[in-house]
Structure 1
Amino acid sequence: MLFALGFQTEEELAPVATAANGFDLTYAYIIFAMLGIGLVVIAGLYAYRYILRNFTSVRGKTFSKIILQVTLPKFRHEEESQRGPQKEQVQEAIAAAETFFAALGGLKAEKGFHAWLHGRSDEFSLEIVVQKKLIKFFLVAPANLKEFAEQQISSAFPYAHVEEVEDYNIFHPKGTILGSYLAFKREYAFPIKTYKKLDKDPLNALTNVFSKLPEEDGAAFQFIVRSARPSWRDRGIQIASRMQQGMKMQEAIAGKKTDSKGFISEFATLSGIASKDEKAQEKKDHRLGPQEEEVVKGLEEKASKAGMDVCIRLIASSTNASSAQMLMQNMLNAFSQYNIYEYGNSFVKVVPGSVKKVIQKFIYRTFDHRNKLVLNAEEMASLWHLPLPWTETPNIQWLIARKGPVPSGVPDGPEKGDVQLGYNTYRGVKTEVWMKSPDRNRHMYIIGKSGSGKSETIARFALEDIKAGHGVAVVEPHGDLIERILQNIPRERIDDVIVFNPSDLERPMCLNMLEVKDESMKDMAVQEMIAIFYKLFPPEMIGPMFEHHMRNAMLTLMSDPENPGSIIEIPRMFSDTDFQNKWRSKITDPVVMSYWVNEVDKTSDFHKSEMLGYLISKVGRFVENEMMRNIIGQQRNSFDFREVMDKKKILLVNLSKGKTGDVNSELLGLIIVSKLQMAALGRADMPEEDRKDFYLYIDEFQNFITDSIATILSEARKYRLNLIIAHQYVGQLVKNNDTKIKDAVFGNVGTMFVARIGPEDVE
C-alpha cells in the first residue's frame, strides 16, 4: 500500500513517494528510466548498425574494393603440352592454391566496435565468371589489402598475371536472373571432399557448366572469404573428442550419450561423480570403427588448417526463364562432387527469399552472415583455384605470353639522354624500364605484325626525344604517325619543325640528290642514287651500261656546285645538244670529259637513241609526274640536312603512299635517308664531343634503305646518327634471295624490340 507523508515546514514540500516498507520509489523510477533509455539506445544502435551494414557501409566498402583479373599461360613449359596429367601433378598444382588460402586464413580477423558497427572490411571475393562465352577468374580485394593479395597470388602462382580491371556485367538487360546460396547439411565442423580425395581436378566440373553457354548468357560462382576467428576449431575438436570417448557421431554432435546406463550414468559422467578409474576404463575399452576413425580424422584434419568464413553465391543470367533455371541447376549439381554423404558434409541449396537482394549482394560483394560457412584452406583450394595446364574446359581466358621480371642491369630510372621504354608489372610490382643513351647509339630494331603497336612505340619514343630537345627525323609511309606527332609537339619546339609532305602541291619542297656541299661527297651521292635505282627496278633492267651512263651524266650535272642540275635533267643531257654543251663547259674532271668526247661523241645517232630510250624508261616516270617534277626538279634543297642534324631540328617526312604513290614514295624516302646518311658522315670535320645525338625513325624501313644500310648501322653511330627502324616481318628484308639487308640489320643493331610476330620470324 502506498501513502504520502506530509511534513510542514516554513515552505510546503512535495510529498515523497515511498513503498509500504519505507523504500524511496524515486530511485526505482530513475533506475527504470535509465534502463529504458539504455534499451532505446541499444535498439537505436542496432537499427543504426543495420542501416550502416545494409546501405551506407556496403556501398562504401564496394567502391573501395579493387577488382583484379588473374590469368595464366596455358602451358608454362613445353613438356606440359606434350604429356597428360598425372594425379600427383594435379594435386601438387592445386596445393599452390592451398598456400594462397592459408595466407588469407592467417590474417587476423577484424574485431572491436568499428567492426561490430560497420561490419568487417577484410573480406575477399574469389570469382569464376563467364561473360560473352569467355571464362575469367577474378580476385576482388579491399584497397588496403590489394598489395597483399597480389603478392600472395604471385607467390602461389609464379606465372600468373594480375591486372586491375573495371567491374564486369554478366546480366542480360531483358533476361531472367536467378540466384542461390550454398549451405552445409551438417555442422561446419564436418569436412567436405577435397582435391586430395578426388581423381581429377574438381575445377573442371565447375567450368564445364560454362563451356557451352551462348554469348548473351552470363553466370558466376562467387566465394566471399574472410579469415575465421580462432574459436572455429573448437567445435570440430569437441566432436572428435566425444567420439573418441565412446559417443556415436550423432551423440557427439548433440553432446549427450544415450546408452543402456541411462540418465544416471550420463549425469554421473557430466557432473564428475564417476570415478577417474571408471572414466579411464571406459575410454580404454572403447575402440573406434573404421568409419568413425575416418570421421574423427576428417574433423581433426579440418581443424588443423587455416579456417575462413565463406559465403558461396551462385548467379545465372539467361535470355529466358527455362534456360536460366537449367543453368542454375547445372551449377548446383557441379558441387555434388564435394559431398561426403554419410560421415561428412554435403552442400545443399538455399533458396533466397528475394532474388533482387541476392543480386544486389552479388554486385556489392556483401558477406551474408545468414549463409555463412566455415571452410579450411584445403577445402577452399578445391572450390576455387586458377586453371591448370591440363584443364579441359574450352573458352578459358589464358594469358597469351608469360610475364617476367626486368632483367638485372636494366636501368629503372632516367639519366640524361635516356628514354623510357615503358613499365614492367611482375608479381604486383610496377617498375619503370629505361633505355640508356649509349644503348640507343647502337640502334634499335622493332619488328611486329600490323597492329602490334610499332607506330605507337615510335610516336612515344620520338615525342620523348622531341621534349628532351634532341634532333629527330621521322620517315613513314602512311601519314598517321606524322599527324599524331604534329599534334603533340611542345610549344617551345614549334619553330624547329620541318614537315616534308609531297602531296602538298601548293607549297612543294625541293629535294635534289645532286646538290652537295662538299666535293668529297659527290661520288657518294652518285653511288647512292644508282643504288636507289637498283632498289626501285629489277637488277636485270639496270645493268652496268645504265650505271655507267647515269654516273657520268650525274657527275656532269654536279660540275657547278653553285647551280647544280637535277636528276630530271638527265634525259636532256642526251637529247638536247645545246644543253649538253652548256654543262660540258663546266666539267673539270678529265675522266668525265673523256666520257663525252671519246664515247658519246663517237656514238652513232641510232645508238644514242637507244641509250636515250633506256634512260628515259627509268627516269621518265618521275619527269612526267608534275608532283615529282616540282620536288626533284629544283636546284636547291629547301632545307640543309646537315643543319637539321647539327641544330637539332625536327624533320617529319609524310610519304603517304595513298597520296604520293608507291614508287614515288619510295624514291623520296630513299633520297631523304641517303641525304641524312651523307650529312652524318659529313660530321667527320667536327670534333666528336661537339656531335649532337640525332635520332632517325623509319617506319617500314625496308622501303627506304639500300644495301648501304650496313654502312649506316656500323659507321653512322660514330657520328651520333641513331637509327630506330621498324617493319612487320623478316621476309621483307629478303629480295630475290638476297639477304644483304637482313644480314646487315641482324649483324649490327644493338637492341631488338619484338612485338607479335609469326612462327617463321620466331625461329
Structure 2
Amino acid sequence: MVSPVVLHLKVPQDNEKSPMAMEGALSGIAELFRHRPTSLSLELVIRGGFIYFFVICEQQFRDLVKGQLFSQYPHLDIEEVEDYTTALSSPTTIAILKLERPDAYPLKTYKELETDFLASLAGMATSIEPNTVTSVQLVLQPVNKEQFSYKTSVFFQNYWRSLLRKNASIKDLLQTRETEKLDKTLFRSTLRIAAWGQEKSDLLVTSLASLFKSLDNPNLNSFKTRKKTQSETTGAAFRQRQPEKQTFLLTSDEVATIFHLPARDIHIAQAVGTKTKATPPPTNLPVPPHIIPFATTTFQSTHTPFGIKREDRRKHMYVIGKTGVGKSKLIELLTLADIKEGKGCVVMDPHGDLAEELLRYIPRERLYDVVYFNPADTEYPMSFNPLEGVTTFEFKQTVVAGFIAIFKKLFSFTWNPRLEHVLRYTTLALLEVSGATVLGITKMLTDAPYRQQVIASIQDPLVKKFWTTEFSSWNEQFAGEAITPLINKVGQFVANPIIRNIVGQSKSSIKLDEIINSEKILIANFSIGKLGEENSALLGAMFVTKLWQAAVARAAMPEADRKDTYLYIDEFQNFATSAFANILSEARKYRLNLTVAHQYMTQLPEEVRSTVFGNVGTIISFRVGGEDAAVLEKEFTPVLKAHDMMNLDMRHFYIKTTINGQTADPFSGRTIDFPMPDEDILTDVVRMSRQRWAKPRLEVEKDIAQQESIVAQDQIKETATFTEPLL
C-alpha cells in the first residue's frame, strides 16, 4: 500500500452482530471498490494475551471503509492508530497459507461451524507469552464482477459439473454451492501468519496455522501451509500488506468466518473491545460558532464539538461520576466558556485544585471582575458575614431555614427539635441587631449581658417573648441539654482563627448581590485540607445560603434585568443541605443556573436526592458504581443500560440534555482536550483580590477586638437600665 491507514476496531461487549454483519460490510466494500483497484488487509493480532482487530486500507478510502463497517456495526469504535509493526522488527517467522484444492471447492463457513473461529484463536492467546506478538493477515483484493470474464464464469460452471459427475456422494451439496460461489462477493486473497520472538516463533506459526483446520470442508477444501520462511523479503511484504503473486479466491462469507467481531453470545474474553457503546447525538445538537464547546461526540468515530445553549443552561445541570473520571475538568471547561463570553459565575470548590487552576485561565481583560475567596489566605482574610443585610421577613426566614439545615446536617442523628428551636430563635434575634455576626450565636447562649443587649434591640414580639419568657424559665439542667451541643459545634467553628477572622467581621467585603448582578467572577476555595472537613462544609453551606438570599432578592427586579449567573459546586454533597432541594426547584426564575457535581448518590440528603432528577434539564454521567447505574438507567432508558455507565473510560460520559426546551435522547461524549492559557495571571489575580476585597490579618484582628470592646461597653449601659427577668 502507498499510504496505508491502520484502523483499530473495538466493538461493545454487548454486540449482538454475528459474522453475517462482517460479510455484509465486506460485500459493501467490494461494491464500492469495483471501479477502484485497491487492496485492504484484515489482521488479527495477539499481544499480551489479547486479540486486537485491525483493518488497513489506503488513506483515500478510509472513510468509505469506515462507512461500510458502521453500517453493519452502528456502535463500533474505530480509532486510527500507529501501525503496530512499526515498533517491531521484521517477523521472525512467516507462514503463507493456500487452499489445498482449486478455488471452486468451498471451505466451511460460520454457518456450519460448531465453534467460532475466534474462540479457537482466543484459546491460543492465553498460552502465548506476553512479550510475543503473533498476527493473522488476510490481504484482500475485491474482484470486479463486471470484469470477471465470461470465460472464467463458464470455467467455474463446467468445473462444478465435472465434480458432480466424478463424486455423486456430494452431488446435492455441490449443486447448491455452484450457485453460491458465483453469487457471493469474491476476493483475491493472501493469507499469512507471522510471529515475532526469537524463541518458539516457528512453533507458534505452526500452531496458529493448525487452527485453520477447523475450516476444513471434508471432500471439498482446506488450508495448508504453502511455505514457511524467515526471509526479509517476505517480512517486507507482510509489513507493506502486499498481495502474493499466487492468490486464491475466497467468498465474503469465507473471509467473514476468519475475520469478524465477537458477539456477546460467544464471549471472547481476550478480544479487545469497548466496555460501553457510543450512541448517536441528536440532529439539532448545539455546535460552534453558536456555543463554546466543552465536549465532542463519540458515535462512529465522529468527533463533533458541542455545548449547551444558554437558555437550556437555566434548567440546571447534574454531573455524577467516580473520583478521577473528569468531573472537575468538565466544570472548568464550562466555567472558562462563561468567562470568555463575559458572563457572571460562581465556583465553589471543596478541594482547592479546581479553584487554583481556574485562576491561571482568567483573561487579563477580566482581571478586575475576579473575586478570589480563599479562607486559607490567613494573612489577608476577606470578610463574610451571613447575618448582614437581612432586613425583610422573607429574607430572615430564608437565612434561618438555611442555618437550621446546615446544623441539622452537621449534627446528623443527634439533631433534635429542641436544638432546632433554640437555633431558630437565636438566629432570628441576631438578625435584629446591626453588626451581629456568627460569633454572636455562642455569646447569645452563654453571655447574659450580651444577650440582654440583643433582647433590647429585638422588634419582633414573638422572638422577644421567647427570650424574655420561655428561655428565662428554663432550669439550668434543661437549658444545658438544649444549648450545650449547639455551643460546642459553633464554638468549635469560630475557635479556628482562620474562620473567626472571616465571619467575625461585621461588614462583608464580599457583596454577593453585587457580584451576581454585575456579572463578576467569584471563585471560592473551601479547601478541606486547609480548613478541615466540618469548617469547610459549614462555611460553604453558609455561603450557599447567602447566595440564595441574593438570588431571591432579584424578585424585585423585572425579569429582563436579571442577568444569568452560573453557579458551579464541585463535590456539592459537602455543601448540600435539605434546603438545597428548594434552591434546585426555584433558582431558575432568578436566573441562578446551577451545575452540581459529586461522586455517588448516597452522599446527598434524601430531600435533595429525591428532587434532583425532577429539577435538572441536563444529566451527565461519567463512570459510576452499580447502585447509581441502576438508578441512572431509568433516566437513560431505553438507549443505555446500567453496565454502560459502569464501564466508561476516563473523560467519557453519557448526557441527557435539553435542546431548545425539548429533552433529547441520551448520547455519548468526551470532554475536549484542555487548552493552554493564553497568559497565566494567577499572581495578578490573587494580588488584585487582596487589594480590593481583603484586609491584612492584624488589621482584621484589631477590628474584631475593637467590636468586642464596644459591645462590652454597651452591655454595661444596657444592663443598668433593662429590667426584664433574664438569665
* Rounded Cα–Cα distance in structure 2 between residues aligned with 1:696 and 1:429: 31
Residue 539 of structure 1: how far off its partner (Å) = 4.9
**Residue equivalent to 2:275:** 400
Gaps in structure 1 of 5+ consecutive residues? 1-57, 78-91, 112-119, 250-285
- TM-score after normalising by structure 1: 0.75
- TM-score after normalising by structure 2: 0.79
Residue 673 of structure 1: how far off its partner (Å) = 1.0
- 1:466-525, CA deviations, whole angstroms, 9 ceiling, x for partnerless residues? 222211111122222222322222332232222222222111222211112543423322
Q: Do structure 1's residue 707 and structure 2's residue 578 form an aligned pair?
A: yes
**Residue equivalent to 1:65:** 4
Q: How does 1:372-411 map to 2 (within 5 A)?
A: 372-407=247-282, 410-411=284-285
Q: Do structure 1's residue 533 and structure 2's residue 400 form an aligned pair?
A: no
* Rounded Cα–Cα distance in structure 2 between residues aligned with 1:244 and 1:536: 86
**Residue equivalent to 1:274:** none
Contact 1:411-1:436 within 8 A present in 2 as well: no
* Rounded Cα–Cα distance in structure 1 between residues aligned with 2:180 and 2:475: 107
**Residue equivalent to 1:27:** none
Residue 146 of structure 1: how far off its partner (Å) = 1.4
Q: Do structure 1's residue 321 and structure 2's residue 199 form an aligned pair?
A: yes
Q: How does 1:123-272 map to 2 (within 5 A)?
A: 123-168=39-84, 177-230=92-145, 237-243=153-159
Q: Secondary structure at the match of 1:321?
A: coil
Q: How does 1:423-502 map to 2 (within 5 A)?
A: 423-502=296-375
Q: Do structure 1's residue 348 and structure 2's residue 348 form an aligned pair?
A: no
Q: Secondary structure at the match of 1:379?
A: helix
* Rounded Cα–Cα distance in structure 1 between residues aligned with 2:193 and 2:503: 72
Q: Secondary structure at the match of 1:212?
A: coil
* Rounded Cα–Cα distance in structure 2 between residues aligned with 1:587 and 1:343: 103
Q: Whose radius of gyration is greater, 1 or 2?
A: 1
* Rounded Cα–Cα distance in structure 2 between residues aligned with 1:732 and 1:602: 40
Q: 1:336 to 1:514 in 2, by over 3 A?
A: same
Residue 719 of structure 1: how far off its partner (Å) = 0.5
Residue 667 of structure 1: how far off its partner (Å) = 0.6
**Residue equivalent to 1:273:** none
Q: Secondary structure at the match of 2:502?
A: helix
**Residue equivalent to 2:505:** 634
**Residue equivalent to 2:387:** 514
* Rounded Cα–Cα distance in structure 2 between residues aligned with 1:656 and 1:235: 82
Q: 1:609 to 1:203 in 2, by over 3 A?
A: closer
**Residue equivalent to 1:571:** 442
Contact 1:99-1:156 within 8 A present in 2 as well: yes
Contact 2:12-2:75 within 8 A present in 1 as well: yes
* Rounded Cα–Cα distance in structure 1 between residues aligned with 2:486 and 2:112: 85
Contact 1:571-1:612 within 8 A present in 2 as well: no
- 1:326-353, CA deviations, whole angstroms, 9 ceiling, x for partnerless residues? 3212111011222346543533242235
Q: 1:612 to 1:375 in 2, by over 3 A?
A: closer
Contact 1:170-1:219 within 8 A present in 2 as well: no
* Rounded Cα–Cα distance in structure 2 between residues aligned with 1:467 and 1:728: 28
Residue 643 of structure 1: how far off its partner (Å) = 1.1
Q: 1:234 to 1:616 in 2, by over 3 A?
A: same
What is the letter of the counterpart of residue 185 of structure 2? A
* Rounded Cα–Cα distance in structure 1 between residues aligned with 2:218 and 2:52: 31
Contact 1:446-1:725 within 8 A present in 2 as well: yes
**Residue equivalent to 1:717:** 588
**Residue equivalent to 1:105:** 30
**Residue equivalent to 1:334:** 211
Contact 2:297-2:306 within 8 A present in 1 as well: yes
* Rounded Cα–Cα distance in structure 1 between residues aligned with 2:460 and 2:43: 82
**Residue equivalent to 1:83:** none
Q: 1:581 to 1:200 in 2, by over 3 A?
A: closer
Q: 1:724 to 1:215 in 2, by over 3 A?
A: same
Q: 1:638 to 1:368 in 2, by over 3 A?
A: same
Residue 640 of structure 1: how far off its partner (Å) = 0.6
Q: How does 1:304-319 map to 2 (within 5 A)?
A: 304-318=183-197
Contact 1:513-1:529 within 8 A present in 2 as well: no
What is the letter of the counterpart of residue 9 of structure 2? V
* Rounded Cα–Cα distance in structure 2 between residues aligned with 1:233 and 1:96: 29
Contact 1:189-1:233 within 8 A present in 2 as well: no
Q: 1:94 to 1:546 in 2, by over 3 A?
A: closer
Whose relative contact order is higher, 1 or 2, with alpha carbons under 8 Å and at least 6 apart?
Answer: 2
What is the letter of the counterpart of residue 397 of structure 2? D
* Rounded Cα–Cα distance in structure 1 between residues aligned with 2:218 and 2:13: 35
Residue 386 of structure 1: how far off its partner (Å) = 1.1
Residue 425 of structure 1: how far off its partner (Å) = 3.4
Residue 428 of structure 1: how far off its partner (Å) = 5.0
Q: Secondary structure at the match of 1:514?
A: coil
Range 470-479 or range 713-722, more displaced: 470-479
* Rounded Cα–Cα distance in structure 2 between residues aligned with 1:443 and 1:450: 22
- 1:681-701, CA deviations, whole angstroms, 9 ceiling, x for partnerless residues? 010111100111111111221
> Alignment partner for residue 302 of structure 1, among 181, 184, 192?
181
Contact 1:211-1:394 within 8 A present in 2 as well: no
Q: 1:328 to 1:344 in 2, by over 3 A?
A: closer
Q: Secondary structure at the match of 2:287?
A: coil
Gaps in structure 2 of 5+ consecutive residues? 632-727
Contact 1:180-1:358 within 8 A present in 2 as well: no
Q: Percentage identity across aligned positions?
A: 33
* Rounded Cα–Cα distance in structure 2 between residues aligned with 1:592 and 1:297: 97
* Rounded Cα–Cα distance in structure 2 between residues aligned with 1:387 and 1:603: 76
**Residue equivalent to 1:53:** none
Contact 2:13-2:273 within 8 A present in 1 as well: yes
**Residue equivalent to 1:283:** none
* Rounded Cα–Cα distance in structure 2 between residues aligned with 1:234 and 1:572: 105
Q: 1:169 to 1:648 in 2, by over 3 A?
A: farther
**Residue equivalent to 1:94:** 19
Q: 1:606 to 1:150 in 2, by over 3 A?
A: closer
Q: Secondary structure at the match of 2:71?
A: helix
Contact 2:422-2:483 within 8 A present in 1 as well: no
Contact 1:295-1:343 within 8 A present in 2 as well: no
Q: How does 1:587-736 map to 2 (within 5 A)?
A: 587-599=458-470, 613-734=484-605
Contact 1:183-1:350 within 8 A present in 2 as well: no
Residue 205 of structure 1: how far off its partner (Å) = 2.4
What is the letter of the counterpart of residue 406 of structure 1? P
Q: Secondary structure at the match of 2:9?
A: strand
* Rounded Cα–Cα distance in structure 1 between residues aligned with 2:555 and 2:299: 45
- 1:7-26, CA deviations, whole angstroms, 9 ceiling, x for partnerless residues? xxxxxxxxxxxxxxxxxxxx
Q: 1:494 to 1:513 in 2, by over 3 A?
A: same
What is the letter of the counterpart of residue 125 of structure 2? F
Q: Do structure 1's residue 742 and structure 2's residue 618 form an aligned pair?
A: no
Q: 1:177 to 1:632 in 2, by over 3 A?
A: farther
* Rounded Cα–Cα distance in structure 2 between residues aligned with 1:533 and 1:611: 14
Residue 68 of structure 1: how far off its partner (Å) = 1.9
Contact 2:7-2:81 within 8 A present in 1 as well: yes
What is the letter of the counterpart of residue 273 of structure 2? W
